[in-house]
Chains A and B, each alone.
Chain A
Amino acid sequence: MSKIFDWQLVFTEIPALLKYLPVTLNLTVIALVIGWAVGLLIAFVKIRNIPVLRQICSLFVSIVRGTPIIVQLYLTYFGIPIALKYYNYYNGTDFNVNGVPPIIFAIVALGLNQSAFDSETIRAAIQSVEKGQVEAAKSLGMNGFQIFRRVLFPQAVTVAIPSLGNSLIGLVKGTSLAFTCSVVEITAQGKILAGSSYRYFEIYCSLALVYWVLTIFVERLFAYIEKKMSVPEQVTVLKGGAVNERN
C-alpha cells in the first residue's frame, strides 16, 4: 500500500511552490504601495473634510468593507474590461481588452481593498498627534507640507505601524485568492501540482508552511520597525554639558 500521508512530500514540494513566490511577493508589495498611497489620500480627504470627495470616499470604504474580497476580485476581473470597452466606444480608441495582464486585475482589487482598511488606520494615526504640536510648528513658520512631513507623518507612522502590519499580514494571505483573476501565484501553483499528483493534502501542508513563514517574517519586520521608531525608554544625562557629542 502506498503511504496514506507522505510527509516527505510536504518538504520536497516546497521548491516547486517557491518558484511562484515572486508573483505572490509582487502582488503583495504593489498592492501594499497602492493601499498606503490611496489610503493616505482617503485619510487626507476625511481630515480636511473636502465636500463631495468625502462622501465618495465614505461610500467606497463602506462598499469595500461590506463585501468579500473574492467578490471584489471578480468585480475587477470582469469590470475593468467592460469599462475599457465603454472607453473605447466613446473615445474611438482601440485598447486591447484581452491584452491586460491578469495580474493587473488582482493588484487593483487587492490594492483598493487594502486602501479602504488602511485609510481608517492612517486617519486615526494622523489625528492622534496633538493639535498643540501643529500649532508649535505653525508658530515656527512651517508651511502645511513641512508640518505634515516633519511633525504629523513621523508620529502617525509610529502609531499606525502595528495596525498596518496586521493589515499587511491579511494582504499576504489575501493574495492567495488571485487565482480568481487567473494569476498563478503560490496557491494556484499548489493546486496545479496537486491536480497532477493527487497529493492534495501534502501540498496544502507545504503551502501552509510557506504562508506561515512569510507571515512570521512580516510580523518580525514590523516589530523591529516599531521598536526602531519608538522613543527610547531611557536616556542618560550628559556629563559636563557634553557639547562635542557629534554623530
Chain B
Amino acid sequence: MSAIEIRGLSKKYGENIVLDKVNLTINKGDVVAIIGPSGTGKSTLLRSINLLEKPEEGSVIINNREISLTTKSSKEKLELRRYTEMVFQQFNLFKNRTALENVMEGLVVVKNLKKNEARELAIKHLQKVGMGDRLFHYPRHLSGGQQQRVAIARALAMDPRLLLMDEPTSALDPELVSEVLTTIRNAAKEGNTILLVTHEMNFVKNVANRILFLENGRIVADGTPKEIFDNPKNERLKEFLVKIHMLESPDFTI
C-alpha cells in the first residue's frame, strides 16, 4: 500500500529548473534514501512535499486524498503538513522551550490533545530516542546530536504518514553522528515511512530499502541498495559513486 504518491512535481527558481516533473510513489513502511550531487534539488524535493517551498506544478495523494501542491487553500496546506513531518539539518528546535515542551508543542497546539495526554505521549517519544533524562533541558543545554534526537521525537510524536529528513546528520560533529543514525534506524524498524536525504552511504546501504539517485531535478536511478551500489547501470550514478568512493573507478582496476 502506498503511503504517498507524488505526481508531476516541478519547481524552478527563475530559469533554473530544480525539479522536473518528478513522480514518486512511496510504500508504507519504506525507508527511501535520496542521494545525489549537491545542488540537484534534494532539499527542494523534500521541502516542496511539506510546502515549505511553492512548486509550480504537482500534486500529492496521501491518506486517499489528492492535494494539489499549488493549492491556495490554507486548510489544504495545513492538512498536507499534518500528514508529513520534517527533520531539519539545523534541528530547528524552539529555543525557548524545554525538550519536553518542544515535543508537546505540536500535540497541544495542532492536535489539541489535553496537556497531560500530550505530556505522556511526549515523554514516551523522548524516552524512545534516549532523551528521557533530559526532559527539562533547553536546546542550548543539549549537544547537536541530542537536539536532533529531540527533533526526531517531536516529528514522530505527531504520528506522520511520512517523515522527511533533510541531511539530519550533516551539521553534527563526527562523534555525534552515530547516535542520531541509531535513532533513525529505530524509527525505521518501528515501521515509520521515511524519505531521507543523506550522505551517510554505509547507513543508507544498511537501513534503506530503496535508493533514489537524483540529478538535475530528475530521478535518474531508483532501486534497492544492492542494485544501486553493487550493480549500478546508470553512467551518471557510476560517476557519482566513484566520486564519493563507493565504487572503484575503472581507471584504477587493473
Contacts and interface: CB of A to CB of B under 8 A. Distances in A.
B106 interface: yes
A237 B151 CA distance: 19
B233 interface: no
Contacts, number: 93
A97 interface: no
B74 A133 contact: no
Interface string B79-101: 00110111010101111101000
A235 B141 contact: yes
Contact of B82 (A141, A238, A245): A141
A235 B110 contact: no
Q: Is the interface of B mostly helix, strand, loop or mixed?
A: loop
A139 interface: yes
Contacts of B78: 141, 143
30 contacts: A130-B95, A132-B90, A133-B93, A133-B94, A136-B88, A137-B94, A137-B105, A138-B51, A139-B85, A139-B86, A141-B82, A141-B106, A142-B106, A142-B110, A143-B78, A146-B110, A151-B94, A155-B96, A231-B95, A235-B136, A235-B141, A236-B136, A237-B137, A238-B133, A238-B134, A239-B133, A241-B132, A242-B133, A242-B135, A243-B127
Interface string A42-76: 00000000000000000000000000000000000
B158 interface: yes
Nearest to A139: B86
A139 B80 CA distance: 9
A245 B52 CA distance: 36
Interface residues of A, number: 31
Nearest to B106: A140
Contacts of A142: 106, 109-110
B138 interface: yes
Interface of A: 130, 132-133, 135-143, 146, 150-151, 154-155, 158, 231-232, 234-243, 245
B96 A231 contact: yes
B109 A150 contact: yes
Nearest to A155: B96
A232 B110 CA distance: 27
B233 to A, nearest CB: 35
B50 interface: yes
A132 B171 CA distance: 14
A146 B107 CA distance: 13
B140 A231 contact: yes
B84, B109, B155: residue with the most chain A Cβ atoms closer than 10 Å:
B109
A234 B82 contact: no
B123 interface: yes
A231 B132 CA distance: 20
Contacts of A137: 94, 105
Contacts of B109: 140, 142, 146, 150
Contacts of A133: 92-95
Interface in B107-138: 109-110, 123, 127, 132-138
A237 to B, nearest CB: 5
A232 B141 CA distance: 9
Given A140-B105, A235-B141, A135 B134 contact: no
Of the listed residues A133, A142, A242, the one surrounded by the most CB atoms of chain B closer than 10 A to its CB is A133
Contact of B86 (A136, A155, A243, A245): A136
B132 to A, nearest CB: 4
Contacts of B92: 130, 132-133, 135-136
Contact of B85 (A140, A150, A240, A245): A140
